[in-house]
Structure 1
Amino acid sequence: MFEEVSKILVVDDETVNLELISAIFIDSPNIMILTASDGLEAMEVLKNHTPDVIVLDIRMPRMDGIEVLDALKSDQSTSHIPVVVLSGDEKERKNALKHGANDFIPKPFDAEELKLRVLNNLQVKKYQDLIKNINEVLQKEVMKKTKELREALELAREAEYEMVVKLGMLSEFRDEETGQHIRRISHYSKLLAQLAGLSEFEQNILFYASPLHDVGKVGIPDSILKKPGPLTSEEFELMKLHTVIGGKILTSDPRFITLHAGKIIAEQHHEKWDGSGYPKGLKEREIHIYARIVAVCDVFDAMTSDRVYRPAFTVEQTLEIMKKGKGSHFDPQLIEIFFNNIDEFIKIRETFRD
């Protein structure tokens, strides 16, 4: 059985870049490279082809990259296609993200980094398509109301969770974390939601969506993600963009409840109760309850785990530090519930050890 061919559209007015990027994928037989020398030509190509990823230059004659982005994201038939922008200007890259770009590559680009970023976005697209297809099939099957359907629903839910975990791991394995971190966050979040009085429906939403909290890290360079020392202010500004990138990746039809909740969590889990977080500086109950719950769970797991820049803290040290964030970093009610039930969270940590 032949593996499906993935299409990558490269749009750049510099012929040498089109040739170089095409050459980067010459050893990938299941990837077809389509090229366009400017935005207008790209729109013509899109009339006959639906690419899986678009690599897009910003500065081009006739129709520049921002105009192409606006056209792509306003059209339902192309809005779901991941777009990786090429630019040597930081302001241009941030502007492109605001207009719907999913990722960026600085110019002049490193060939290996470009290939890895494009392949990462291609993998994310495949998982999104798979989850979407599963949900569409289930919506049709639910009309049958049979025992066979109930069994299929249970299996599909388990499969969805595994796909969400794998999607989360696309970023985590580059951050030297494991699938166990993803599973711990999932179980922590459901437990804290239960203790906070959320409905069983919302507990399950958090269980399935919380693993997607850091998926936007696929768009952060390894030089920042794996840096053994503290980040510079410029590097930290780039790191903060993983919340924006995660939201772009997970943007979908609201009917896909897991992806919609994952988008909220990815965008808001670094917001803080006192408004000093990012990316939007939301405060108190402006921050969605899902994100407030994941914020507590993510900090606890991060601090009690080894990182490239420091060894793990003990549980006692971690709790002492987290107490100082009550009412500033964390929702004061949620953190109090967490402290009062810490033994249950430690049991989860022991069950899903790295």
Structure 2
Amino acid sequence: MFENVKVILADDDPVNLDMLEKMLQQFECTLIKVGNGQEVIDAISAHPQVDLVVMDLNMPVLNGYEVLRRIKQDVHWHDIPVVVVTTDGTEVASVLELGANDFIPKPFNLCELRHRVMNQIRNKRLADFASDTNAVLEVEVAKRTAALQQALAKALQTEYEISLRLGRAAEFRDQETGSHLKCISQLSKRLGQLAGIAPEQCETLYFASLLHDVGKIGIPDSILLKPGKLSPEEFTTMKEHTVIGGKIMSGARDYPVIEAGRIIALHHHEKWDGTGYPYGLKGEEIHIFARVVSIVDVFDALLTERVYKRAFSIEETMSIMMDECGKAFDPHLLGLFSAHVDEFHALQRGIHADAIPITSITEMVR
């Protein structure tokens, strides 16, 4: 037998109430007897976890129809089963339409009454159990989801850190500032957002752009660190850093960031008009990630002092870049970049202002 069962018995005839009480005493449940419809509502409010309401339709104050309507329309009560006691068979369809769970005709049949009441109590407890189980499962799912999201965030952060350090391995070779990679990463993501690239792809671009120059690891110092202009032969060797980077990251198609990094490393020196390297790709043959990175890479390079050049002003930088619109750069992407250049410049300056030069880091670890 179920424990702590609460049943509300409602009838304005005390004799009928006593009869119902005697018939249901064997269930060893708490019976709450009331004499009108308003008292049914009050009893439900005062007694949480009511398992069943057995009521007559013809009651004072509030009749059974109104009580049934209120119970079934209340978000907290609508699952309470209601069994209607009636002498009029024509009322059955109406009360079932209002949401009554069952009916009992007068005069009562003891065996039928017990079975109907027991069935409704059983159904209510099963529904309560399912609801409680679902609530527990929802809490557990929420916990597991939160843990999974934390693990995913940690994995993404780890992937970023690995990409950052792999990229810095190349940066240490040519003594650029330690902020260059972070600058490329953040500016690439922002330009990707402006270009309408899907959010998850912008995250991949954010990580993968760090790997754009990883192939410089394979370029000799005599060329990589040369302060003056490269000879044609030296420039041919320098261009090989794109292919070297692609080879370093080849065979990683199951790892989206590394695969995107491979594509960026190979394509970020391709030009919109087909005069770039290493493959002479043209227009949209060049992956959009590489088209994005080529713009922000040149932007940061022009604004930053290098061993072979001074830092250009923002006006000079944009003049140089706009001259290459439709030549080196995707005109649509460059147009977006130009329209938001103040935002990109502020972001670029902020990143470099917080940076420690790689040369300083090298001195610290000697």
Establish whether TM, by shorter chain, passes 0.5.
yes
1 or 2, which has the higher helix percentage?
2
SS at match of 2:321: helix
Q: In the aligned structure 2, how far is the partner of 1:221 from the partner of 1:297?
A: 25
Indicate how the Cα distance of structure 1 residues 317 and 246 shifts in structure 2: closer, same or farther if over 3 A, else same: same
Query: In the alignment, which residue of structure 1 is the partner of 2:177?
Result: 178
SS at match of 2:174: coil
Query: In the alignment, which residue of structure 1 is the partner of 2:269?
Result: 270
4+ residue segments displaced more than 6 Å = none
Q: In the aligned structure 1, how far is the partner of 2:168 from the partner of 2:273?
A: 30
Query: In the alignment, which residue of structure 1 is the partner of 2:27?
Result: none
Query: In the alignment, which residue of structure 1 is the partner of 2:290?
Result: 291
Q: In the aligned structure 1, how far is the partner of 2:203 from the partner of 2:232?
A: 37
Alignment of 1:113-152 (within 5 A): 145-152=144-151
Query: In the alignment, which residue of structure 2 is the partner of 1:335?
Result: 334
Q: Conserved in 2, the CA contact under 8 Å of 1:244 and 1:279?
A: yes
How much does 1:165 deviate?
0.7
Q: Which amino acid aligns with 2:301?
A: A
Deviates more, 1:192-201 or 1:153-162: 153-162
Query: In the alignment, which residue of structure 2 is the partner of 1:216?
Result: 215
Q: Which amino acid aligns with 2:185?
A: S
Q: Conserved in 2, the CA contact under 8 Å of 1:169 and 1:178?
A: no
Query: In the alignment, which residue of structure 2 is the partner of 1:257?
Result: 256
How much does 1:145 deviate?
4.8
Deviates more, 1:252-261 or 1:204-213: 252-261
Q: In the aligned structure 1, how far is the partner of 2:159 from the partner of 2:347?
A: 21
How much does 1:351 deviate?
1.9
How much does 1:175 deviate?
1.1
Query: In the alignment, which residue of structure 2 is the partner of 1:228?
Result: 227
How much does 1:158 deviate?
1.1
Instruction: State the identity %.
Output: 52
Q: In the aligned structure 2, how far is the partner of 1:164 from the partner of 1:324?
A: 32
Query: In the alignment, which residue of structure 1 is the partner of 2:345?
Result: 346
* Superposition CA RMSD, Å: 1.2
Q: In the aligned structure 1, how far is the partner of 2:170 from the partner of 2:325?
A: 29
Query: In the alignment, which residue of structure 2 is the partner of 1:192?
Result: 191
Deviations 1:126-176 (A, max 9, x none): xxxxxxxxxxxxxxxxxx954322212112211211111111000111111
Structure 2 residue 201 is the aligned partner of structure 1 residue 202: yes
Q: Which amino acid aligns with 1:214?
A: D
Deviations 1:101-126 (A, max 9, x none): xxxxxxxxxxxxxxxxxxxxxxxxxx
Q: Conserved in 2, the CA contact under 8 Å of 1:190 and 1:207?
A: yes
Query: In the alignment, which residue of structure 2 is the partner of 1:245?
Result: 244
- Which structure has the bigger radius of gyration? 2
Number of residue pairs matched? 211
How much does 1:249 deviate?
0.4
Deviations 1:176-214 (A, max 9, x none): 113310000000000000001111011111101001000
Query: In the alignment, which residue of structure 2 is the partner of 1:305?
Result: 304
Q: Conserved in 2, the CA contact under 8 Å of 1:165 and 1:179?
A: no
Q: In the aligned structure 2, how far is the partner of 1:330 from the partner of 1:145?
A: 45
SS at match of 1:174: helix
With structure 1 as the length reference, what TM-score do the two structures score? 0.58
Query: In the alignment, which residue of structure 2 is the partner of 1:52?
Result: none
Q: In the aligned structure 2, how far is the partner of 1:351 from the partner of 1:304?
A: 13
How much does 1:350 deviate?
2.1
With structure 2 as the length reference, what TM-score do the two structures score? 0.56
Q: Which amino acid aligns with 1:233?
A: P
Q: In the aligned structure 1, how far is the partner of 2:252 from the partner of 2:175?
A: 32
Query: In the alignment, which residue of structure 2 is the partner of 1:319?
Result: 318
